[in-house]
Structure 1
Amino acid sequence: MKYVDEFRDAEKARAIAGQIAKQATPERRYNLMEFCGGHTHAIFRYGIPGLLPDNVRLIHGPGCPVCVLPIGRLDMAIALARREEVILCTYGDMLRVPGSGRESLMKVRAEGTDVRILYSPADALKIAREHPDKQVVFFAIGFETTTPPTALVIEQAKKLGLTNFSVFCNHVLTPAAMHAILNTPEAENGALELDGFIGPAHVSTVIGSAPYEPFPERYNKPVVIAGFEPLDVLQAILMLIRQLNEGRAEVENEFTRAVTRGGNLKAQEAVNRVLALRSSFEWRGLGDIPESALQIRDDYAEFDAEKRFSVEQLYGRENRACECPAILRGAKNPRDCKLFGDPCTPDNPLGSCMVSSEGACAAYYSYGRHTQRRIPVGESSA
C-alpha cells in the first residue's frame, strides 16, 4: 500500500490493455461483474472502459451498502430520528437517500430533529457520554468492512455501562448477495449474462478469499479479487479472461498485498462475539435473502435499538420510474433509467444509486457517462 503510484502507471496500463485485447477471443463475449461500488467508480475515474475491446463488458453489481438498504429500513431510521429523546447518528451518505414519499433524514433534520453525521462509530459513544439525558442511536450500515467497528463500539458501550447508547444494525454480507444475483430471474433465464466476478477489495481484507470458493464450485463462475487502482482492475480482468478462455473457474487473488485466504481473524472474532446471522434480510433490488445480514446477539440485546424502542418493521414502496433495483441486480445500467440525468442528478437524487459515493448512477454522472447515448440492455456498455 506504500507505493500506490506503481499501480497507476499509464504505460503499464496500456500494456495490460493490449494483452486483454489480444487474449479476448473476438468470437465470444466476456460479461464480468464488479461487485463493489468502489470498483465502479475506479473503472470510470481511470477510463478503463475505453481501454477494453467491445466484447469485454463490465456489469455493475450491488456493492454499495447505502444503495441496497431497502426503503422500509430507512423509514424505520426516520421514525427513530423523530423521537424527541433520540439523537440519531449515521454516515453522511444516508442523509440524502429518499425514503417513502421522498422523505429523508436530511429533511427530518431540517424539521428540527437531532440527526448527526459521523466519521467513526466511536463518535457516537462520545456523543452518548456527552448527552446522558438523550438516547443516542447509531444507524449502522455497511458490508463486512465496516462491521468490526460497530461490534467494537457495542462491546465498549457495555464495558462503560452506557444506558443511553444503542445500534440500529443494518450490516449486510457480500457472498450472500452474490448467490442471490446468480439466482435472480434475469440470471436464470439468460437475460443477465454473467461470466465471472471482480471480487471486492476492502471486504476481502476482512473475510479473506475462502468465502468466494462456492462460486466456481457451484456456479462455474470464476472470481478474481482486485484492488482499487487501475492496474489492479485491468489485471483482474485479464485474469478472468484467461480463466474463461481455458475453461477454468477458480478463485484467484490479484490483491495479494492486502488479502489472504483466511482474512483478518481478529476482526472476524470481534464480529462473532457481538453479532449473529439474521435468518433473512431484505435488499433493495434483490428482495429477501436468507442469512445475508447481521443482528445484535442476545448477550448485547440492551444495545439493540430495534428492541429498545420496539421499532415496527416497515416496508416502503420504490419510485416506479426509478431503475435502481434493476441496476443493483446488474439487469440494467444507469442510462437505461428514464430519470437518469434529468431530473435525477447528484443534486436532486431520486434513487439511492445517485446518492451514494459508491452508487453506479453517481459514477456514471460524475464521470460524464450521462452525456453519452443510452445503451440498450444486451449491448456493450464498455
Structure 2
Amino acid sequence: MRYVEEFRDPKAAKGVLAAIARVADEIGATRDAPVRIMEICGGHTHAIFRYGLDKLVHEGIEFIHGPGCPVCVLPMSRVDECVEIAERPGVIFTTFGDAMRVPGSRKSLMQAKADGCDIRMVYSPLDALELARRNPDREVVFFGLGFETTTPSTALTLQQAAREEIGSFSVFCNHITVPPPIKALLDDPHMQLDGFVGPGHVSMVIGIHPYDFIARDYGKPIAVAGFEPLDLLQSVLMVLEQIRDGRAEVENQYARVVPEHGNPVSLAAIADVYEERPSFEWRGLGEIDASGLRIREAYRAWDAEEKFGIGYAVGRKKVEEPEGCACGAVMTGRIKPTACPQFGRGCRPDMPLGALMVSSEGACAAYWTYGGARVVEPAE
C-alpha cells in the first residue's frame, strides 16, 4: 500500500539506522552522554515502542516522552467537572472512548455511567449533535478534547449547531494547543533537551511555522514526523544532522501530509469559533498562558462551561494527584514511566491511577503494552 509499505521497508530502515549511528558517533553521542530527543506526540511514543525503535537506534540516542497526549495532560479537576455535568438531571454527556476511564478525584466517567448517568461514547462531535436533534428535551453535552488535530471538527459542529439553532447542544471545551507547553518545557532550567520530533497530525492543521520559535529563540532543531518506522527514523536523522552541522531549523519530514502553512479551512473554523484562554491548567505543568481555547461570545450559547456554571466560568479548585502518582513527572520527561512508584503496582491498565496508563497515547500504556515492563509484587 502506497505510503505504508515503503515506510516499513526493513532494508531502507537498516540504511537509515546506519546513518543515525554514523552521525551519532560524529557528534560524540554515547550511552553516558546521550542526545536527548523529545517526541512531542503520544502517537509517536507508541510507534517508537511498537516498532522497537528505542532498541534499534544508536545507544547514544535517548527518547524523551513529551506532553503530547491531550487526555493525559488534562488535570483531574476537569474530569471532576465532566462528572458534575453528567450528574445533572436531563443531561446526555458524550465523549470519545479514551476519556471514559480517566480517573477524577471522585470517579471516572465510566464509573459515573455505572452509577446511572447517561454517558455515551461517540466517534465524532457530529454524533453528539445528532443526539441533540433526536432528544430536544434533553441537554446533550460533548466533551471537546484534544489538540489542534480535533479542534476543527468541534468548531465545525458548533457552527452547524448555531445555524440550526439547536439550543439543547453544548460543548465542554478542553481544546489545547501544542506550542505553549513546548515553550514552558524549554524555559525549565532542569529540562535538558537537544532536539524535537514534531507532531504530525497537529502540524497537518497548523503547518510548521508555529514551531519557528524553537529554532529561532532556543537554538533547538525540530523535524515534524509521520508515524511509520521510517518516518520516525528519518526525523531522528534530520535532527542529528542539524546538531552535527550546527544548525537549528524547522524541517518537515512529513511533507506528504503536512502543508507548510497548514489547512486553511480548518484554521478558519478554529479562528471563527475559538479564542485563546488567558491560561489553562496542564497536568504536570500547571497553568500555562494562552495554551487553551475557549468558545467565543458569538457561540457562547453552546458553551457548557457557561451554561452549567462550572470550571473557569466560576473559578476552579485545584485537585492534587493521588499519592505516589508521578504522571506529571512522566508527562514532562523528567522520569520514565517505570520510575513511577505506582507503575505496575497501584497503577495498571485494569486499575489506573493516572491518565497515562489509560489513554491510547499515554506513555505508561506504551511501556506496559510494548516495553515488556511488568512489575509483580512478591508473594507474601
- TM exceeds 0.5? yes
Residue 15 of structure 1: aligned partner: 15
Residue 97 of structure 1: aligned partner: 102
Matched, 1:249 2:248: yes
Give the counterpart of 1:365 among 340, 357, 368: 368
| 8 Å CA contact 2:343, 2:375 repeated in 1 | no
Kindly provide the amino acid, as one letter, of the partner of residue 319 in structure 2.
G
Distance 2:276 2:53 in 1: 37
Matched, 1:353 2:356: yes
| 8 Å CA contact 2:93, 2:143 repeated in 1 | yes
Residue 76 of structure 1: aligned partner: 81
Distance 2:371 2:208 in 1: 34
| 8 Å CA contact 1:73, 1:314 repeated in 2 | no
Per-residue deviation, 1:50: 1.4
- Counterparts of residues 177-216 of structure 1 (less than 5 Å): 177-184=181-188, 188-189=189-190, 192-216=191-215
Residue 217 of structure 2: aligned partner: 218
Alpha-carbon RMSD across the aligned residues, in angstroms, is 1.4
Residue 239 of structure 1: aligned partner: 238
Per-residue deviation, 1:52: 1.1
| 8 Å CA contact 2:209, 2:260 repeated in 1 | yes
Residue 62 of structure 1: aligned partner: 67
In the alignment of these two chains, the number of paired residues is: 367
Kindly provide the amino acid, as one letter, of the partner of residue 304 in structure 1.
D
Per-residue deviation, 1:342: 2.0
- Counterparts of residues 26-45 of structure 1 (less than 5 Å): 27-28=28-29, 29-45=34-50
Give the counterpart of 1:168 among 162, 172, 176: 172
Per-residue deviation, 1:315: 2.2
Could you say if the C-alpha distance between residues 371 and 19 of structure 1 is closer, same or farther in structure 2, counting changes exceeding 3 Å? farther
| 8 Å CA contact 1:73, 1:315 repeated in 2 | no
Per-residue deviation, 1:372: 8.9
Matched, 1:318 2:321: yes
Per-residue deviation, 1:53: 1.5
- Counterparts of residues 278-357 of structure 1 (less than 5 Å): 278-312=277-311, 313-357=316-360
- Counterparts of residues 260-275 of structure 1 (less than 5 Å): 260-275=259-274
Q: SS where residue 65 of structure 1 aligns?
A: coil
Q: Cα deviation per residue 1:208-267 (whole Å; 9 max; x = unaligned)? A: 001000111111111100000000000000111111111111000100101122010110
Per-residue deviation, 1:371: 4.0
Runs of 5+ unmatched residues, structure 2: none
Could you say if the C-alpha distance between residues 337 and 258 of structure 1 is closer, same or farther in structure 2, counting changes exceeding 3 Å? same
Per-residue deviation, 1:2: 3.7
Per-residue deviation, 1:280: 0.4
Q: Cα deviation per residue 1:65-91 (whole Å; 9 max; x = unaligned)? A: 000001111111110000012110011
Kindly provide the amino acid, as one letter, of the partner of residue 66 in structure 1.
V
Distance 1:57 1:36 in 2: 16
Distance 1:223 1:260 in 2: 16
Distance 2:258 2:140 in 1: 35
Residue 378 of structure 1: aligned partner: none
| 8 Å CA contact 2:39, 2:197 repeated in 1 | yes
Could you say if the C-alpha distance between residues 372 and 30 of structure 1 is closer, same or farther in structure 2, counting changes exceeding 3 Å? farther
Matched, 1:140 2:139: no
* Higher relative contact order, chain-length normalized (CA < 8 Å, sep 6+): 1
Runs of 5+ unmatched residues, structure 1: 374-382
Kindly provide the amino acid, as one letter, of the partner of residue 75 in structure 2.
P
Distance 1:22 1:277 in 2: 44
Q: SS where residue 40 of structure 2 aligns?
A: strand
| 8 Å CA contact 2:42, 2:69 repeated in 1 | yes
Q: SS where residue 332 of structure 1 aligns?
A: coil
Q: SS where residue 71 of structure 2 aligns?
A: helix
Kindly provide the amino acid, as one letter, of the partner of residue 335 in structure 2.
K
| 8 Å CA contact 1:64, 1:359 repeated in 2 | yes
Per-residue deviation, 1:23: 1.1
Identity among equivalent positions (%) equals 50
Residue 134 of structure 2: aligned partner: 130
Instruction: Show structure 1 runs of 4+ deviating over 3 A.
Output: none
Kindly provide the amino acid, as one letter, of the partner of residue 260 in structure 2.
R
Distance 1:256 1:298 in 2: 36
Residue 379 of structure 1: aligned partner: none
Residue 376 of structure 1: aligned partner: none
TM-score when normalising by structure 2: 0.94
Q: SS where residue 163 of structure 1 aligns?
A: coil
